């Protein structure tokens, strides 16, 4: 008996469309994979050129020094995935840190001051969210206004460095914890600030990939109108992403201030650009809809390792750091353009 038309159809090879769809999904990971490869290449180059890069103390310093940036980049990831931007994070750190240290010096309980520092970030983030969501102000303008406001308030409070008391219990947040006792000074150490950064990253990953809020964040970045038609809580979620970014700016202020022991009105200058750069280098698309928290961590470590290598070299002027950062960022923006083109290709 000859096979019927339906039998013939059933035995045909599967359509290649699922493979194409799989490729497009993997294409979204391309910038993040590129960041990982660049980070590995920088490690190898540093070891070959300068030596003593693949050491526990180098990795320890990289994590400890960049814990505040990792926290900032994590909050920025939420905002950029929705298609927004937050330019206020560096100024929030200045205002929050100066306020906290001055409160402690005025006799306020240290831990109460720490909570106030974090809440300052939350309030500024909430104001940005209200401006964006309910007054239809562009995120760039809304957060730029908050950037000037926070920096101005920090300058009004103090124009000189405010020192954290030596006997303040919050200085314990900068205490180094030895995990591995290596030869000589080659120890693997972390600080409570690093632990905080790790917990922030894990919590952010859980929220983005395991909760309705996270799914809504990605949906807003993909198409806000479609997200509204699906009945997703768009208004509340857009508020929350700016509150999260502001709150994490307050947390970063705590980590940074307790490590340095001082607070200044000029603290955090340009940090918003570093946070954006780390987020973009890590694979979060500026157009929204695609982003990975762990990618932002890699982006922050790439920037941190770049400073280490420039310092080790000794012949590159510090001013070149911004030029190199700009070059890397430009390369990743162009890569994102290619990714967007590939995603739109039927």
Domain spans, the chain: 31-338
Give the other-Cβ count within 10 Å of 128's Cβ. Answer: 30
Q: Is 292 helix (H, G, I), strand (E, B) or coil?
A: coil
**pLDDT value for 318:** 72
**pLDDT value for 8:** 44
Determine the average pLDDT of the residues in 242-257: 97
The answer, yes or no, to whether residue 85 has pLDDT greater than 70, is yes
Lowest mean pLDDT among 14-18, 192-196, 306-310: 14-18
The answer, yes or no, to whether residue 345 has pLDDT greater than 60, is no
pLDDT band at 310 (very low <50, low <70, confident <90, very high): confident
Lowest mean pLDDT among 27-36, 67-76, 131-140: 27-36
Are 146 and 127 within 8 A, CB to CB? Answer: yes
**pLDDT value for 26:** 60
What global pTM score does this model have?
Answer: 0.89
Q: Give the residue from 62, 73, 14, 83 showing the smallest Cα distance to 251.
A: 73
Determine the average pLDDT of the residues in 310-336: 81
136 membership: H or E segment, kind and range:
none
Are 283 and 291 within 8 A, CB to CB? Answer: yes
Q: Give me the chain's average pLDDT, please.
A: 88
**Side-chain half-sphere CA neighbours of 343 within 13 A:** 17
Q: Which CATH architecture has domain 31-338?
A: Orthogonal Bundle (1.10)
Give the whole-angstrom CA distance, residue 182 versus residue 126.
Answer: 46
**pLDDT value for 53:** 85
């Amino acid at each position: 008996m000859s096979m019927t038309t339906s039998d013939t159809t059933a035995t045909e090879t599967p359509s290649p469309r699922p493979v194409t769809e799989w490729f497009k999904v993997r294409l979204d990971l391309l910038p993040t994979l590129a960041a990982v490869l660049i980070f590995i290449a920088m490690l190898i180059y540093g070891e070959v050129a300068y030596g003593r890069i693949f050491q526990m103390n180098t990795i320890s310093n990289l994590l400890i020094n960049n814990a505040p940036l990792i926290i900032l980049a994590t909050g920025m990831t939420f905002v950029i995935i929705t298609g927004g931007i937050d330019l206020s994070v560096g100024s929030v750190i200045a205002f929050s840190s100066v306020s906290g240290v001055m409160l402690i010096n005025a006799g306020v309980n240290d831990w109460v001051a720490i909570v106030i520092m974090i809440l300052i970030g939350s309030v500024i983030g909430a104001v940005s969210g209200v401006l964006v969501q309910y007054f239809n102000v562009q995120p760039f303008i809304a957060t730029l206004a908050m950037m000037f406001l926070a920096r101005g308030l920090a300058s009004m409070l103090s124009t000189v460095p405010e020192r954290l008391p030596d006997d303040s219990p919050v200085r314990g947040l900068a205490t180094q914890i030895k995990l591995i006792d290596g030869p000589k000074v080659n120890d693997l150490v972390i600080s409570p600030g690093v632990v905080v950064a790790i917990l922030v990253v894990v919590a952010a990953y859980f929220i983005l990939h395991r909760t309705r809020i996270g799914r809504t964040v990605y949906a807003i970045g993909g198409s806000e109108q479609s997200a509204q038609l699906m009945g997703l809580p768009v208004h509340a979620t857009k508020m929350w992403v700016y509150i999260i970014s502001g709150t994490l700016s307050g947390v970063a202020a705590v980590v940074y201030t307790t490590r340095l022991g001082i607070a200044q009105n000029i603290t955090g200058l340009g940090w918003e650009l570093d946070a954006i750069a780390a987020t973009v280098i890590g694979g979060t698309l500026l157009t929204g809809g695609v982003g990975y928290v762990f990618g932002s961590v890699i982006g922050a470590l790439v920037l941190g390792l770049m400073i280490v290598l420039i310092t080790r070299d000794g012949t590159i002027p510090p001013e070149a750091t911004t030029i190199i950062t700009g070059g890397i960022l430009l390369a990743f923006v162009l890569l994102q353009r290619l990714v967007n083109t590939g995603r739109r290709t039927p």
